[in-house]
Amino acid sequence: MFMLRFFAKRFVAIVFTLAAVIAISYIMMYESPGGFMSTSQVASALAPIAAQNPVLYQKVMEEFQQRYGLNLPLWRQCLQYVWHELTFNFGNSMQNPTQTITSQLKTALPISVILAFSSTALSVVIGIPMGVIAALKRNTWIDYTVTTLSMVGQAIPSFVLAVIFVLIFGVLWQNILPVTGWGTFSDAVLPVISLAAAPIGVVARYMRGSLIETMRQDFIRTAKSKGVKYWPLVLKHGVRNSMTALITVVGPQFAFTVVGTVLVENIFAIPGLGKVIGNAFPNFDFPMAITSVFILGAIMMITNLIVDLFYAWIDPRVKLQ
Amino acid sequence: MAIAVSQTRPVAVKKNRSQFYQSWKRFRKNYFAVGGLVWVAIFFIIGIIGPWIAPYSYTDADFLAMHAPPSAHHIFGTDQVGYDQFTQILYSVRYALEIALGATCVSFIIGIVLGLWAGLAGGIADMLIMRGVDFMFALPSFFFALILSVLLGKGLFPMILAIGVPGWAGYARLIRSLVLSMRNGEMVEAARALGASQTHIAARYMFPNVVGSMVVSLAFGIPADLTAQAGLSIVGMGLNPPMPSFGNMLANASSNILGFPWLLYFPASIFAITLLAFLFVADGLQEAFNPRGGM
């Protein structure tokens, strides 16, 4: 019951936050100096019409304004956008008016979701053992290597790592792994690795610190004196207890991974949501840009909510607020 | 004839044992951090003198040498328009620094004002500002920067604002927590009970205790803003070409990679090493100022 009330409260907060994000983004885009019709491609396509037939040009512009509601008062446009986004009625994009945004997202969104979630999963799978080994071999060369590597992974943003991968696998060792496109499993290898590097570092560093702290606890000493063997002691008593708060590290890291996905897709020419964003924002495609931010924001916030619920579930000491 | 011998009597050097000196001593022992600091210093120097040592202007397109590999004329090669890559990198360093430092300053100033306001005023102002912080943390600030960059356009100053304005929340929260911990701290209370003046308390007790965390958060903020700036370029919202930036060069090079790898060698490696250096420095500062915390 309490869980349900917590969930409902957070869900309402998420809806209001998203509504505010949509409204603010729409106002900013609306007030921006350019517009879809004045981007170089569209403007040059319309230039002959404007010169030869000003009446028709006027009509085209009015038609455009009508279709996207740009002639309404700003507050009404704003409310319309908020309502349409929140009810998943995204309408048509400006660049691709014959296709609904929903149908465009149907192909783009799963790609980004796969990239974000699989790299997060990979970071946990690799990060935990790395952190555990570093903690057990504390202050040896293994520890230093792991700590330094995880710092390097954290420092270099995923898209720079992606660029370096393009350099290595696109130039130096060609034909081992593909550096552009999407479709097969091997296409996903480099993007996922470049996205996972930072979270691996975070998880490994967290795990190392947490395990060192846990192994100092009294219950470990008690278990040891009762004759628990080394590996059961480390795995069952140590690692298990130091993993509880790990999820609070993975949650925020997920948001960074989503941003990374947007950028990495543009480097590897992967037709995901990031590529959509890379096309929508520079071309003032309001509906597409706002929808993509809305979708990514919703995914992030709902993931965080699930993480919090999960955390309370695995660790009963945690109180939901 | 008396020879004037300069008599250097061993003067008892007054040992400077201030908090900062001790922090510096800890920082010095961290070789990664010192190495990072050296690289950052070089980066700053290049940013300042870059335009004087640049062999060309960044708008000079050498149409006779497009896609030229590195040579004596263009030591880092040229791109598809014929821009000299060495020049581009020199200017990129400058713009990267201007944008990152400017944006960090903008974030920090907004954060300080709002954080102080929230911490000192309390009540409804505090509540509203903290709700604002929660709102900013709901989404990565990169998205806010992306949306702001649509509104503001693509110049140098708009970029500084687009990256800087959304970054205030972290600083505001930090400053607020510092204010609260100082206001209710026993140390300040003790000093006040001993009759210390307001300025004395502020200068001798509050400032040394808050400056560490502020410096550390700024040191982490600069590489984050460098990254954000390059990220904006990747999705096409960065500085307008021909104004060079690392993001533009990386985006351009990765789409032109086949056949022209030199377009990638230099910007990618320099940018990666620079971010690492900034982070090593930030990490070293964190350890130096807060030796017990952290892992």
Residue B71 has pLDDT above 80, yes or no: no
Share of chain A above pLDDT 90, in %: 12
Chain A CB contacts of B151 below 8 Å: 28-29, 31-32
A256–B153 C-beta distance less than 8 A? no
Cα distances from B31 to residues A202, B25, B38, B280, B293, in angstroms, run 22, 12, 11, 9, 19
Mean pLDDT of the region B65-90: 76
Q: Do A255 and B283 touch (CB under 8 A)?
A: no
DSSP B250: H
Which of B227, B255, B280 shows the shortest C-beta gap to A157? B227
- C-alpha B295/C-alpha A20 separation (Å) is 37
- DSSP character for B69? P
B211/A contact by beta carbon, under 8 A:
no
The nearest CA of chain A is from the CA of B118 a distance in Å of 21
State which of A87-91, A258-262, A306-310 shows the largest mean pLDDT.
Answer: A258-262
pTM: 0.84
Q: Is the pLDDT of residue B5 over 70?
A: no
> In this complex, do B138 and A21 lie within 8 Å of one another by their Cβ atoms?
yes
C-alpha to C-alpha distance for A8 and A14, rounded to whole angstroms: 10
**What is the DSSP-derived secondary structure letter of residue B201?**
I
Residue from A117, A219, A278 nearest B255 by CA: A278
Residue B146: closest C-alpha in chain A: A281
CB proximity B130 to A under 8 Å: no
Assess contact for B93 and B46: CB atoms under 8 A.
Answer: yes
Report the percentage of chain A scoring pLDDT > 70.
Answer: 99
pLDDT tens-digit map of A40-96: 777 777 778 778 888 887 887 787 777 777 777 888 888 888 888 888 888 788 877
Is the confidence at residue B13, as pLDDT, over 50? yes
Q: Which residue has the higher pLDDT, B284 or B7?
A: B284
More confident residue, A142 or A179: A142
Q: How far A222 CA sits from the closest chain B CA (Å)?
A: 25
Best interface-test mutation with A: which of B135, B161, B229, B235 has the largest number of A CBs within 10 A? B235
Residues A230, A232, A238, CA angle at the centre, nearest 5°?
90
**Count of beta carbons in the 10 Å neighbourhood of residue A148:** 13
Q: Is the pLDDT of residue B108 over 90?
A: yes
From the list B63, B83, B72, B59, the residue with the least C-alpha distance to B253 is B83
Q: Is B235 on the interface with A (CB under 8 A)?
A: yes
Best probe of the B interface among A143, A160, A180, by most B CBs < 10 A, is A160
What's the average model confidence in pLDDT over A97-124? 88
Pick the range with the lowest mean pLDDT from A129-133, A178-182, B33-37, B106-110: A178-182
Query: B49 to chain A, minimum CA–CA distance in Å?
Result: 26
Identify the closest residue of chain B to A300 by CA–CA distance: B139
State the amino acid at position B66 in one-letter form: M
Q: What is the mean pLDDT of residues A145-161?
A: 87
| A277 with B146: Cβ contact below 8 A | yes
In one letter, which amino acid is B276? Answer: L
Domains of chain B, first to last: 22-47+83-288 (1.10.3720.10)
Asked if A296's CB is within 8 angstroms of B143's CB, the reply is: yes
What spatial distance separates the first Cα and last Cα of chain B, rounded to whole Å? 66
The per-residue b/e assignment along A157-178, b for 16 or more CB within 10 angstroms, e otherwise, is bbbbbbbbbbbebbbeeeeebb
Q: Greater confidence, A127 or B240? A: A127
8 Å CB contact of B234 and A284? no
CB B68 within 8 A of CB B77: yes
pLDDT class for B295, splitting at 50, 70, 90?
very low
C-beta atoms of B139 and A297 within 8 A: yes
Provide the pLDDT confidence category of residue B294 given band limits of 50, 70 and 90: very low
B36 touches chain A (CB under 8 A): no
Which of the residue ranges A159-173, B104-118, B274-288 would you say has the lowest mean pLDDT?
Answer: A159-173
Cross-chain residue pair A167–B140, CB shorter than 8 Å: no
Burial status of residue B242 (CB atoms within 10 A of its CB: 0-12, 13-18, 19 or more): middle
Residue scoring higher pLDDT (B27 or A129): A129
pLDDT band at B12 (very low <50, low <70, confident <90, very high): low
B9, pLDDT greater than 70: no
How big is the A-B interface in CB pairs under 8 Å?
135
Contacts 24+ apart (CB under 8 A), B178-182: B178/B115, B178/B119, B178/B210, B178/B213, B178/B214, B179/B115, B179/B116, B179/B118, B179/B119, B179/B120, B180/B119, B182/B206, B182/B209, B182/B210
DSSP 3-state of B168: helix
Q: How far is CA B154 from CA B58, B130, B242, B249, in A?
A: 17, 31, 12, 16
**ω into B242 cis (within 30 of 0):** yes
Give me the mean pLDDT over the B88-99 stretch: 90
Residue with tokens 């003046």: B197
Q: Does residue B118 surpass a pLDDT of 60?
A: yes
Average pLDDT over residues B4-23: 62
Q: What is the pLDDT of residue B14?
A: 55
- Nearest by CB to residue A29, choosing from B150, B223, B231, is B150
Set of chain B residues whose Cβ sits within 8 Å of the Cβ of A212: 295
State residue B42's pLDDT score.
93
pLDDT at residue B291, rounded to an integer: 60
CA A235 to chain centre: 31
DSSP state, residue A320: P
| Number of other CB atoms surrounding residue B48 within 10 Å | 12
Quote the mean pLDDT of chain B. 83
Q: Which of A25, A148, A149, A163 to mutate to test the interface with B (most CBs of B within 10 A)?
A: A163
Question: Nearest CA to CA, how far is B221 from chain A (Å)?
Answer: 12
The pLDDT, as a whole number, for residue A63 is 79
CA distance A53 to chain B (A): 31
Would you call B143 and A29 a contact, using CB atoms and an 8 Å cutoff? no
The yes-or-no verdict on residue B274 having pLDDT over 60 is yes
Q: Rounded to 5 degrees, what are φ and ψ at B121?
A: -80, -40
Whether residue B237 and residue A300 make contact (CB cut-off 8 A), yes or no, is no
**From the CA of B31, how many Å to the nearest CA of chain A?**
12
Residues of A in contact with B140 (CB under 8 A): 255-256, 258-259, 300
DSSP of B30-55: -HHHHHHHHHHHHHHHHHHHHHHH-S
Residue B257: pLDDT band with limits 50, 70, 90 = low
On the question of pLDDT at B3 being above 80, the answer is: no
